[in-house]
């Protein structure tokens, strides 16, 4: 299927967005570390995959699970890459060093509600169908995913130390977000009603759908798969993030508690 040239949308508008992001990034940030450059490249590549590859074509009202993959890329993967691409020191220099508990709290609330809410909101049957049919609403949806994703990941991997959650709170944040998408995923997987009516029984001009359906990939199977995609991959990603938080928790020493180098120098003497 990947080989059918008509399924690839090389003229997608996403290239424009990618160009703008690249421009803004390299104008704003100089001396970027290779890893950060890599993260940016990865994010942009996923963005291209979401819209240029057959996923983009099939997500336009044909295959619900492709539509879900597109959402996951835009809500979770791409923003995560972008956040990791931000140079820590440069971004920190824009803000004062003072702790910002109120800002941090607001970001956490907005991040959680945005991250979980965006998924729920855009899968209310009416919004789901309308945003798939209407191009400008679709654009609004995709940009809202990207924005929600950025705010969602900010308290976990954001470059600004003062707005990051402590690892234990971060674990609760991610775990509860996992429960949030699990619930919706379970519903979409096991419900007998159609969540996004436009995807039920659609036919396309290329005849891909009829081939898929002939192979047993019925709209219901498609929806089951979509629900599972919403449920299992995000949770796995969150578990991955939780592992990194745990590493941070056990590794990082409180700056105040680190003994002064003088004490450190004395250590071997004690041991001897």
Partner 1 sequence: MLQPDDLVDPSRRNLFSWVCSVDHKRIGIMYMLLAVFFLLVGGVEALLIRAQLAVPKNDLVSPQMFNQLFTLHGTTMVFLVGMPVFTGFSNFIVPLMIGAKDVAFPRLNAMSFWMLPFGAVLLYFSFFTGSAPDAGWFSYAPLSTKPFSSLPGVDYWIIGLAVMGIGSISGAINIVATVMCCRAPGMSMQRVPLFVWIMFMQAILIVITIPPLNSAISMLLIDRVLGAAFFEPARGGSALLWQHFFWMFGHPEVYVFALPAFAIVSEVIPVFSRKPIYGYAFVAGSSTIIVLLSYTVWAHHMFAVGLGMGPNIFFAAATLLIALPTGVKIFNWTATLWGGSIRFTTAMLFAIAFLIQFVVGGLTGIMFATVPVDWQLTDTYFVVAHFHYVLVGGIVFSLFAATYYWFPKISGRMLSERLGKLQFWLWLIGFNATFGIQHLLGLMGMPRRVYTYDDNPGWALCNGISSAGAVFMAAGTLVLVWNILKSIKSGAVAGDNPWEGFTLEWGTTSPPPLENFEELPEIKSRRPVWDADHPDLADWKTEKTPEDRGHRPAAAKVAAWSFVISEAIFFILLLVSYVVFNSGDEIEGPTAETALDVSRTGIFTFILLSSSLTFWIAERCLRKDKIGGFKLWLGLTILLGCVFIGGQVWEYSGLFSNGITVNRNLFASTFFTVTGFHGLHVTGGIIVLGIMFMLGRLGYLTSKRTHVFAAVGVYWHFVDVVWIAVFSIIYLDVFK
Residues in contact with partner 1 by the rule CB under 8 A = 124, 168, 171, 175, 178-179, 182-183, 186-187, 189-193, 221, 224-225, 228, 231-232, 235-236, 238-239, 242-243, 246-247, 249-254, 256-259, 267, 270-271
**Smallest separation (angstroms) from partner 1 to the CB of 131:** 17
Closest CB 116 distance from partner 1, rounded Å: 14
Residue closer to partner 1, measured from CB, 91 or 232: 232
Cα gap 145→115, rounded to integer Å: 8
- By C-beta, is 99 or 259 nearer to partner 1? 259
Alpha carbon dihedral 198, 202, 204, 207, in 10-degree steps, equals: 150
- Rounded to the nearest whole angstrom, what is the least distance from the CB of residue 175 to partner 1 in the complex? 6
Residue 6 or 267 having the CB closest to partner 1: 267
CB 194 within 8 A of CB 219: yes
Place of tokens 């492709």: 66
- Of 82 and 153, CB closest to partner 1: 153
Give me the least distance between CB of 239 and partner 1, in Å please. Answer: 6
Complex with partner 1: residue 137 or 232, whichever CB lies closer: 232
| Continuous H helices in 60-205 | 64-72, 78-85, 88-93, 101-121, 125-133, 135-157, 167-190
Q: Determine the Cα–Cα distance for residues 198 and 60; give it in Å rounded to an integer.
A: 9
Write out the two tokens for 130.
Answer: 């309308």
Are the C-beta atoms of residues 36 and 81 closer than 8 Å to each other? no
Is residue 78 within 8 Å of residue 50, measured between CB atoms? yes
Residue 271: in which H helix or E strand, if any?
helix 261-271
Q: Which two tokens stand for residue 31?
A: 């001396």
In whole angstroms, what is the distance from residue 70 CA to residue 34 CA?
27
Comparing CB distances to partner 1, the nearer of 154 and 238 is 238
Nearer to partner 1 by Cβ, of 207 and 259: the residue is 259
Least distance in Å: CB of 144 to partner 1?
19
Smallest gap, in angstroms, from Cβ of residue 240 to partner 1?
10
Q: Which residue has the tokens 């990034």?
A: 25
Residue 87's closest CA among 29, 34, 39, 44?
29
Between 91 and 113, whose beta carbon lies closer to partner 1? Answer: 113
Q: How many C-beta atoms surround the C-beta of residue 133 within 10 A?
A: 12
To partner 1, the closest distance from the beta carbon of 42 in angstroms equals 23
Both structure tokens of 13: 């508008």
CB of 193 to partner 1, least distance (A): 5
């Amino acid at each position: 299927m990947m080989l059918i040239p008509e399924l690839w949308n090389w003229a997608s508008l996403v290239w424009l967005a990618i160009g703008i992001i690249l421009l803004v990034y390299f104008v704003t940030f100089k001396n970027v570390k290779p890893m950060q450059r890599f993260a940016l490249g990865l994010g942009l590549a996923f963005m291209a995959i979401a819209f240029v590859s057959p996923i983009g074509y099939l997500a336009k009202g044909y295959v619900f699970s492709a539509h879900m993959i597109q959402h996951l890329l835009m809500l979770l993967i791409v923003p995560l890459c972008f956040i990791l691409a931000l140079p820590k020191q440069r971004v920190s220099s824009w803000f004062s060093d003072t702790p910002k508990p109120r800002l941090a709290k607001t970001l956490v609330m907005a991040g959680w509600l945005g991250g979980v809410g965006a998924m729920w909101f855009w899968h209310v049957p009416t919004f789901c169908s309308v945003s798939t049919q209407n191009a400008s609403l679709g654009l609004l949806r995709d940009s809202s995913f990207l924005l929600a994703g950025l705010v969602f990941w900010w308290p976990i991997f954001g470059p600004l130390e003062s707005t990051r959650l402590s690892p234990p709170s971060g674990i609760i944040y991610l775990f509860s977000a996992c429960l949030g998408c699990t619930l919706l995923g379970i519903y979409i997987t096991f419900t007998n009603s159609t969540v996004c009516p436009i995807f039920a029984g659609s036919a396309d001009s290329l005849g891909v759908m009829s081939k898929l359906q002939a192979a047993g990939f019925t709209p219901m199977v498609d929806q089951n798969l979509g629900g599972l995609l919403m449920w299992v991959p995000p949770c796995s990603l969150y578990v991955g993030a939780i592992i990194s938080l745990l590493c941070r928790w056990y590794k990082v020493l409180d700056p105040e508690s680190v003994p002064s180098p003088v004490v450190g120098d004395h250590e071997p003497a004690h041991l001897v």
